[in-house]
Amino acid sequence: MNMKITADDITVYGKKIKKPSKILAQFTVVICEQIEIHGFTVSISKEIHKTFQEMIWIQPPKTIPPYWKKIVFIRDEFLWMDVENKIYNAFRELNINYKSREEVDINDIPDHF
């Protein structure tokens, strides 16, 4: 049996990281209301995401250092794009204001501050 998973078969929900550093939020992806995969993340990126035009990086679950390795890999590129899009939409709904985290040059702070 060759079953095809579509975007309609996928549900995503997430939560903000309480003390965010580079990772801003974590997400769970549910497929066909049967398979639940935890550990997808949205992080601050050094590059602009080609689709969403924001400085974010959406990653599937991975092992911990020193050997970072994806433990979930979606082979169908279009299905990955659907999952990524659903994660991005859920991320936007969390209203995380990560853009306000600008770096400050210590020399720009007045002495009397």
Domains and CATH numbers, the chain: 10-97 (3.30.1120)
**pLDDT band for position 1 (cuts 50, 70, 90):** low
Mean pLDDT of the region 7-17: 94
Judged against a pLDDT cut of 70, whether residue 113 lies above it is answered with: no
Q: What share of the chain is helix, strand, coil (3-state, %, to 5)?
A: 25, 30, 50
**pLDDT band for position 69 (cuts 50, 70, 90):** confident
Distances (CA, A) of 93 to 58, 65, 105: 15, 30, 32
User: Which of 85, 84, 59, 81 has its CA nearest to residue 72?
Assistant: 59
* Rg, C-alpha atoms of the chain: 17
Judged against a pLDDT cut of 60, whether residue 104 lies above it is answered with: no
The number of beta carbons lying within 10 Å of the beta carbon of residue 111 is 4
Q: What are phi and psi of 81, to 5 degrees?
A: -65, -40
